Homo-oligomer: A and B are copies of this chain.
């Protein structure tokens, strides 16, 4: 056998990227039809027919050629009008259509982060945000939220202290996956003022902004506070609010001076998104508000039910999340959430994501995606309670 050093392997920084523990659990149970999965962050509904039909019509018309790197003008205009309606007046020229919200994040980091740069994130956090800067050889510093009876809270002073003048980028995902933690307007004002002072970029992962259970059409956004001269990049996606996970369509709102360089990076990463997918995006935005409203109502009911039911399970500490589509709860005495979730899959036929997948602060917790119809959730709760009562004594 050849020594590992001689094997054709990736560079060290890539080898040390974290692999997803969510995938590890899913791989253990995805082929078992008896398992009820709530591990992925994916709504359980098929994309609405009017959106799918638009893509099919585009294909029938023969729209199978390259588009502009930034996307077709109709979609950029539709997104600009949408962002303008929600946040502040935005021109189509500051919108870049991307091949997923994931790609939007990668492109933003490629544009801004050089080797050795300091990047700050707030955790627990879905793993991708923490790993992406490492692909660009950056140093990632984590600032942990605290968990109490009211839910997850940010120690703002601690975050500001971590945002040293030599910090290049602050990456924030609010409403947050996995915790549902959501920045307040006042916190955003303080953070923006601090970042302005030190020239720190903010990359805001806003994919859950429409899944917000407060008294507003969307979660508080840096876009409302910032202007076109601020170092703010907002990334977004059609995946969650319009049930379009499989379409891989997202967008970036960026300051005008960043756009031409973003264009080059899109060319060198994916070149453009398929026209027929972009056409679907146009109708999703223009005719999809009832879909978004219905999705939010469904998820709100699911959240209320799941949080209530789990709160009655022995050993569970849980608070209703302000946004997103996850219950991220503590099980008293739990020290190895990965092992626990593996046992859940094997023995209880229930698929949840281990808290440790979202950083060391997540250990002792479990993530449950509630973007699901009620009978499935109820059956999941029954399996969970049975397992915890029988096999687990906190």
Q: Which residues of A contact B (CB under 8 A)?
A: 2, 6-15, 17-20, 23, 40, 42, 46-47, 52, 55-56, 59-60, 62-67, 99-100, 102-103, 106, 110-115, 128, 131-132, 135-137, 199, 201, 229-232, 243-248, 255, 257-258, 260-265, 267-277
**Central interface residue in A114, A260, A272, A274, by most chain B CB within 10 Å:** A274
With A260-B19, A274-B247: A114-B102 Cβ-Cβ less than 8 Å: no
* Smallest beta-carbon distance A26→chain B, Å: 10
- Contact across chains for B14 and A264 when beta carbons are under 8 A apart: yes
- Contact across chains for B110 and A258 when beta carbons are under 8 A apart: no
- Contact across chains for A52 and B60 when beta carbons are under 8 A apart: yes
- Contact across chains for A261 and B231 when beta carbons are under 8 A apart: no
A2 to B17, CA, bound (A): 39
What are 8 sample pairs from A and B whose C-beta atoms fall under 8 A apart? A6-B199, A9-B261, A11-B112, A20-B267, A55-B56, A56-B60, A99-B248, A248-B271
B residues near A201, Cβ cutoff 8 Å: 8
B residues near A268, Cβ cutoff 8 Å: 17, 102, 106, 128, 131-132, 135
- Contact across chains for B2 and A229 when beta carbons are under 8 A apart: yes
A244 to B232, CA, bound (A): 35
B residues near A137, Cβ cutoff 8 Å: 114-115, 137
- Contact across chains for A270 and B103 when beta carbons are under 8 A apart: yes
Q: Which residue of B lies closest to A66 (CB)?
A: B245
B residues near A263, Cβ cutoff 8 Å: 19
**Central interface residue in A2, A12, A20, A67, by most chain B CB within 10 Å:** A20
A257 to B114, CA, bound (A): 28
- Contact across chains for B261 and A14 when beta carbons are under 8 A apart: yes
